[in-house]
Structure 1
Amino acid sequence: MNRRQLLRCGAAFGATLAAGTPAWAEGKPIQIIVPFGPGGSGDISARMLGEWLTKKTGRPVTVDNRPGANGIIGVEAARKGPADGTVLLLATTSTHLANPSLFKKLPYDPGKDFRLVGSFGQGSFYLLVNPSSLYKTVAEFVQAAKAEPGKLNYGYFNATSSVSSAMFAATAGITMTGVPYKQVGQAMTELMAGQLQVVFTDTVQGDAFVASGQLRALAVHSGERLKRFPQVPLVRETYPDFDVSAGFLGVAVPAGTPVAIQQQLNDLINEAVTTDPIKSRLEGFGFTPHKVSLAELANFERTERAKWPKYVAIAKLEVQ
């Protein structure tokens, strides 16, 4: 950054402190790009943040769902957007941690093209089956899969669901057939219709189905049993060695965004996720929201992304 740019950033930040309104929000609306379909934990979290930012800045905030290609379509749209804090990206395990290990020619580099400015936390996910299925426990499901190798189908719709399913199969010593979907809702519909036998999905998306009895949760991958469904066992209670990162949700901006604006966003997001009602909603999702600095976010991203080549190798996934 040259001297003129530093002076401009310093002046903008000074004006922000004086006026009490983030400089990045002046004059233009804010867009949050969600690289997946509506309804999941990421979409809900982005919309909660959008409402918060509108109240805090007075600027209109829109949430733009751009699903497809394992999140790549939405990420590319954000990468090509202005680096002035008016275009934010919902950063996920798929887009920022897993994709570099799953694609040989990824059109973006999460570490070079973006900067994380906030975190909603890390969530939990269910192992869901149709309630009419014969298996009522993880052990019964695995027994059925071993009896007919490759006959049980699992649905996946992003890197997290794909790797989680494959890692479970590798840990349990079973063979299943993966069926790709563009959106999580499509996989859930197929599971209820009996076209699939299992889906790994985040607890936010699965809660309503579990609560209504439309789907059965055989297990949950989390640090501890969920308070709302304490009868659902942990995957690790059957397979203590099962180890895959729980889903991460955060907020990123194009790498060229001035550091002063990144810090303003970081301060606002940290305030949002540790203040009710957002804090309570996130905790209800199974997240553990807390304040995270820009440096801590950068370190987290590097550390977690380094784990994914191992996950992909263990799960024996084909790199596209």
Structure 2
Amino acid sequence: MKRSFWKRMALLLTGALLLTACEASLSADRADFPERQITYMIPFEAGGQSDVEARRQHPLLEKELGQPVVITYKPGGGGSVGWTELVRQQADGYYLAGINVPHIILQPLANPDTGYQTEQIQPVVLFQRTPIGLAVPKESEIKSIEDLVQKAKKNPGKLTVAGSGTYSGHHLAFRQLEKFAGIRMKYVPFTGATTQVQAFLGGNTDVILANSSDLVKYKEQLQILAIGSDQRTELFPDAPTFKEAGYEMSPVIDRGVGVPAGTPAPVVRRLEEVFLRIARNDKIKEQMIKDGFEPLEMGAAETEKYIQRKTVELTPVIEEMK
């Protein structure tokens, strides 16, 4: 009896030791991450805000990670095509993608068949924010947001507004403005900021809801009517915030990086550490601000909580948008 007992104990101890050894080996493997090339996918067109930041990060990422980082593009559906591709990848940290809030919340809420769900994306960091601004061509007869509202009321459904994507930050800002101002206009979605701005500057729409970085780039050609920041920005000192103009909205787009849900925690922590170190780089922050971006430094846990809060906030809003 005693012999049988000690035999069972020996087997259990051996099993525990083997399990511990396997876990230690697995942990060591993850501690060595990465050991090969990483793909950094941008779910928008080349030349847009997500691409600009990925290119800025690129040399520092390769230096920090010690492996090649290849930037690829999969535009379409306001980012949904790329995020659908992301969640189908192996959850090992070797395939990551730029993520945008509120896009990754709004799209699955609006359409369960979008191809991905918000919870299928594990956020790593949010490193950047761009307030959304409302603008018209410099030569437009519209000189203020009040002028725009009055014209829209006299011509319901006639004014066209360029935005990037459907059920995106721009689309949300458009619907909020319609609701708060009591007006009706026509939203024209484009596949990304690059084509959106080009079409607007080419005279294809009357108005644009654009990212602050694009407003900075083309400010000599634009009259900025309102900006989505919490307070007036030095970049556009004459442009009021939407709230200052009387509309309870502060439209912004937050950008960061995500991986497929289920990616091992040590791998997520390694990527988080590297991206946050880059985000805290003074030179990077200075360049962002100069280009019209607002630097962020939100890690994985903080970003997850932020996305959960925004999901609760936006769930009733999406019902109104449908």
From 207, 218, 221, give the equivalent of 2:225: 218
Paired with 2:294 and 2:105, the residues of 1 have a C-alpha distance of 18
Q: State the AA in 1 paired with 2:313.
A: K
From 294, 317, 321, give the equivalent of 1:317: 321
Give yes or no for the alignment of 1:48 onto 2:38: no
Paired with 1:132 and 1:165, the residues of 2 have a C-alpha distance of 22
Secondary structure of 1:289's match? strand
| CA-CA distance at 1:4 after TM superposition | 7.2
Which residue is 1:274 aligned to?
Answer: 280
1:231-250 → structure 2 map (5 Å cutoff): 231-244=238-251, 246-250=252-256
Secondary structure of 1:201's match? strand
Which residue is 2:262 aligned to?
Answer: 256
Paired with 2:173 and 2:247, the residues of 1 have a C-alpha distance of 15
- Larger deviation, residues 269-278 vs 95-104: 95-104
1:134-153 → structure 2 map (5 Å cutoff): 134-153=141-160
Paired with 1:232 and 1:49, the residues of 2 have a C-alpha distance of 30
| TM-score of the pair, normalised by structure 1 | 0.87
Q: State the AA in 2 paired with 1:155.
A: A
Q: Cα deviations across residues 255-276 of structure 1 (Å, max 9, x unaligned)?
A: 1211101011111111110112
Q: State the AA in 1 paired with 2:240.
A: P
- Larger deviation, residues 128-137 vs 40-49: 40-49
From 118, 123, 138, give the equivalent of 1:110: 118
| TM-score of the pair, normalised by structure 2 | 0.87
Runs of 4+ residues deviating >3 angstroms: 2-6
- How many residues of Structure 1 are paired with residues of Structure 2 in the alignment? 301
Q: Cα deviations across residues 213-235 of structure 1 (Å, max 9, x unaligned)?
A: 22221111102212122122212
1:86-125 → structure 2 map (5 Å cutoff): 86-111=94-119, 113-125=120-132
Secondary structure of 1:90's match? strand
5+ unaligned residues in a row in structure 1: which ranges?
17-22
| CA-CA distance at 1:240 after TM superposition | 4.2
Q: Cα deviations across residues 4-29 of structure 1 (Å, max 9, x unaligned)?
A: 7633332235xx4xxxxxx2221x21
Which residue is 1:20 aligned to?
Answer: none
From 305, 308, 314, give the equivalent of 1:302: 308
Contact 1:39–1:205 (Cα < 8 Å) also in 2: no
Secondary structure of 1:155's match? strand
Contact 1:122–1:288 (Cα < 8 Å) also in 2: yes
Contact 1:40–1:204 (Cα < 8 Å) also in 2: no
Q: Cα deviations across residues 92-136 of structure 1 (Å, max 9, x unaligned)?
A: 02542221222132221121x221111113321111211221011
From 175, 183, 190, give the equivalent of 1:174: 183
| CA-CA distance at 1:90 after TM superposition | 0.5
From 82, 92, 95, give the equivalent of 2:90: 82
Paired with 1:3 and 1:117, the residues of 2 have a C-alpha distance of 28
Paired with 2:181 and 2:21, the residues of 1 have a C-alpha distance of 59
From 198, 201, 205, give the equivalent of 1:189: 198
Q: State the AA in 2 paired with 1:86.
A: Y
Contact 1:31–1:61 (Cα < 8 Å) also in 2: yes
| CA-CA distance at 1:247 after TM superposition | 0.7
Q: Report the aligned-residue RMSD.
A: 1.9
Paired with 1:69 and 1:265, the residues of 2 have a C-alpha distance of 27
| CA-CA distance at 1:311 after TM superposition | 2.6
Secondary structure of 2:294's match? coil
Which residue is 1:11 aligned to?
Answer: 28
Which residue is 2:6 aligned to?
Answer: none
Rg bigger for which structure? 2
